[in-house]
Chains A and B, each alone.
Chain A
């Protein structure tokens, strides 16, 4: 390997390690929120169901779900809270829980991809800046050289101008 190849390999190794460590941190956080233990308290079924559903909505929100989707869940949770028909409330809560579960996973994955994208853009942006600075300085240098290489000529008459 020549020194240039070695440098490239080194840069890619550093960048790769950085991205992998980021991915690891993200996955461990996701798994922690997913496996969060919920202590069960003896309450009536509808009440416990409500708490479970609420916890799932909170997890979806923490995973980065869109606020409009959370608003939809909140509206339906409030609807279930005000229903006197327990069967109807339970059906609504079941539906919210299923949707929130899916949304949490989707949002979590999306958040992870967004983070990876943002950090992956770091070397790209740094490279673009380096290229701009490099060629900018080269252009400036060439302009300076152009001026320095100019020859002074004596102005003879108006037609020369």
Chain B
């Protein structure tokens, strides 16, 4: 039987070992690492920091008093995404969005902002608003808001004596799987959601 010399045996061992190591390295090089996929949603005050959300730090907002916020979102989904931020007006008793069930607040959208974001891109926009008018039916106060120059009367949601209104911001995305705009986003076949709210009282 043909016998391999020591040199050849060693060369075969080295070749096989190097082949396995380089094959593993090649696999690691061409395989994308799984990353956590999520969005970040935030609101900032007029100084573009997490402070001074209300004029004079007073949550009682008078008619025609301008309030300046910045709303932003960052895409960490690992791919291009369509981000839709819907602003809604709620009161103390109406249901909030549910993160666990990924259900939005059952309220009409007052205004909607849309932008396509690349991965790791942040989109921040000013949200300037003021109460331009209030109307009362019984003890409920209904508001007319001017948001970024557009006036909207919110006739569906009233707050008792104008207290405990809240502006809710919900993040919606275009889900390529269902080809529909969904509340939150889908990551690893699970639904996730992000929303935030800022409370205020409408005073005359």
Contacts and interface: CB of A to CB of B under 8 A. Distances in A.
Same complex for A and B? Answer yes
A121 interface: yes
Contacts of A38: 176, 179
A61 B79 contact: yes
A126 B18 contact: yes
Contacts of A3: 2
Interface residues of A, number: 37
B26 A130 contact: no
Interface in B3-39: 7, 10-11, 14-16, 18-19, 22-23, 26, 29-30
A93 to B, nearest CB: 12
A46 interface: no
Interface residues of B, number: 27
Given A40-B179, A51-B174, A118-B26, A127 B80 contact: no
A107 to B, nearest CB: 14
Contacts, number: 79
Contact of A54 (B11, B14, B82): B82
A54 B53 CA distance: 35
A57 interface: yes
B114 interface: yes
Interface string A67-99: 100110110011001000000000000000000
A76 to B, nearest CB: 9
Given A122-B22, A123-B19, A58 B11 contact: no
Interface in B166-194: 174, 176, 178-180
B204 interface: no
A2 to B, nearest CB: 9
Contact of A81 (B2, B116, B118): B116
A9 interface: no
